[in-house]
C-alpha cells in the first residue's frame, strides 16, 4: 500500500478504505440509509479501491424481533439480540450490494482477537485474502460471545484498529452529525472544525457525546479517540455524517479531517 500519508485533497484516490457506520444510522427509522451507503461504497469499490465496512447495529437490528423497545441491559439478552440482528443486518447489506454484483464477507471480532498475536495475524490474513478476492468485508464486534471485560466499547475503536491492521489509507467515521464541533453541536456558539493537525490536543474544544439515545454506544469522544489511534498509524481520518458519505468518498470538503502521521 501507499507509504506517503494521504492528504485531504487526495481522499478520492484512497486505495484502501475503512468506513464505519453507527447503529443509529442504519437501524430503526434510518434503515433506509443502508442503500445510499452501499451506493457510495460500491462506487469506490468499482473504481478499484479496496473497501471494508465496519458496521454497528446488530443489537439495534435484533431488538424488534425480540419485541424490545429499548436496548437490553443484561449481557445475555444483548447477545441474543445480536445473534438475531447480525444475521438480518448482513442480509440487508448483501441484498443492497447485489445490485452491483458485490459479495460481502462477514468478519466478527472481539477485542481479544486483536490483542492476541496469533488471532491478530489470522484476522489480518483473512482480511487480506477477502480484499484480494474483491469481496467486501463487513466487520462488527462479535457481540454474541464478547463479555463486558473484553469489549471494544464502541465500533469507532474497532474501526481504527481494523484500519491499523490492514494499513488503510483512509478511515471514514460516520454518525448522525456532519463534523466535529468546538462544543456539542446543539449548544449555542458551536462551530464545525474542518481540520485537525496531527498531534493537535484540541485544547478548548468541549467534546460531548453524539448519537441517538438508547441505540448507539459511541459519540464525539470515541470518534476523536479512534481518529487519533488511526492517524498515529498513518491513516487519514474523516469524521462526518452518514448522509454525506458519498460526498466524503469523492473528496468533497465535508466533515472534520484528521491529518495522519508520516508512515
Q: What angle do CA 226, 229, 231 make, to 5 degrees?
A: 105
**Inter-residue contact 239 to 223 (CB < 8 Å):** yes
> Residues annotated as binding site for ATP?
20, 175-176
- List, for residues 228-256, the tens digit of each pLDDT value: 999 999 999 999 999 999 999 999 999 99
Q: Which of 51, 1, 3, 20 is nearest to 160 (CA)?
A: 20
Q: Report the distance separating Cα 42 and Cα 16, nearest Å.
A: 13
- List, for residues 204-237, the tens digit of each pLDDT value: 788 765 444 344 445 788 899 999 999 999 999 9
Strand partners, 17: 51, 170
> Residues annotated as binding site for substrate?
56, 143, 155
- List, for residues 148-168, the tens digit of each pLDDT value: 655 666 799 999 999 999 999
Instruction: Fill in the DSSP letter of residue 147.
Output: -
pLDDT of residue 145: 80
pLDDT per residue as tens, the chain (263 positions): 446 889 999 999 999 999 999 999 999 999 999 999 999 999 999 999 999 999 999 999 999 999 999 999 888 999 999 999 999 999 999 999 999 999 999 999 987 888 899 999 999 999 999 999 999 999 999 887 876 655 666 799 999 999 999 999 999 999 999 999 999 888 999 999 999 999 998 887 887 654 443 444 457 888 999 999 999 999 999 999 999 999 999 999 999 999 999 87
DSSP 165-217: HHT-SEEEEEESSSS-BSS-TTSTT--B--EE-TT---TT------S-TTT--
> Residues annotated as binding site?
20, 56, 143, 155, 175-176
Fold of 8-258: Carbamate kinase (3.40.1160)
CB atoms closer than 10 angstroms to residue 108? 18
Amino acid at each position: 500500500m501507499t507509504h506517503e500519508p494521504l492528504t485531504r485533497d487526495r481522499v478520492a484516490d484512497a486505495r484502501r478504505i475503512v468506513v464505519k457506520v453507527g447503529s443509529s444510522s442504519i437501524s430503526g427509522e434510518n434503515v433506509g440509509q443502508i442503500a445510499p451507503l452501499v451506493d457510495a461504497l460500491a462506487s469506490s469499490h468499482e473504481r478499484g479501491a479496496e473497501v471494508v465496512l465496519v458496521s454497528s447495529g446488530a443489537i439495534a437490528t435484533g431488538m424488534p424481533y425480540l419485541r424490545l423497545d429499548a436496548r437490553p441491559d443484561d449481557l445475555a439478552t444483548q447477545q441474543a439480540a445480536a445473534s438475531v440482528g447480525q444475521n438480518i443486518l448482513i442480509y440487508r447489506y448483501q441484498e443492497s450490494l447485489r445490485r452491483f454484483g458485490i459479495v460481502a464477507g462477514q468478519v466478527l471480532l472481539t477485542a481479544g482477537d486483536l490483542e492476541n498475536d496469533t488471532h491478530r495475524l489470522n484476522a489480518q490474513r483473512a482480511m487480506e485474502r477477502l480484499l484480494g478476492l474483491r469481496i467486501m468485508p463487513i466487520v462488527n464486534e462479535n457481540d454474541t460471545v464478547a463479555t463486558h471485560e473484553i469489549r471494544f466499547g464502541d465500533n469507532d475503536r474497532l474501526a481504527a484498529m481494523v484500519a491499523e491492521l490492514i494499513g488503510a489509507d483512509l478511515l471514514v467515521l460516520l454518525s448522525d452529525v456532519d463534523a466535529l464541533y468546538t462544543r456539542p453541536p446543539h449548544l449555542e456558539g458551536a462551530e464545525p472544525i474542518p481540520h485537525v493537525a496531527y498531534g493537535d490536543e484540541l485544547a478548548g474544544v468541549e467534546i460531548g457525546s453524539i448519537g441517538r439515545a438508547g441505540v448507539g454506544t459511541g459519540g464525539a469522544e470515541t470518534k476523536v479517540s479512534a481518529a487519533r489511534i488511526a492517524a498515529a498509524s498513518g491513516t487519514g481520518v474523516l469524521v462526518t455524517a452518514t448522509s454525506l458519505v458519498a460526498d466524503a468518498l469523492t473528496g468533497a470538503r465535508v466533515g472534520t479531517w484528521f491529518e495522519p502521521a508520516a508512515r
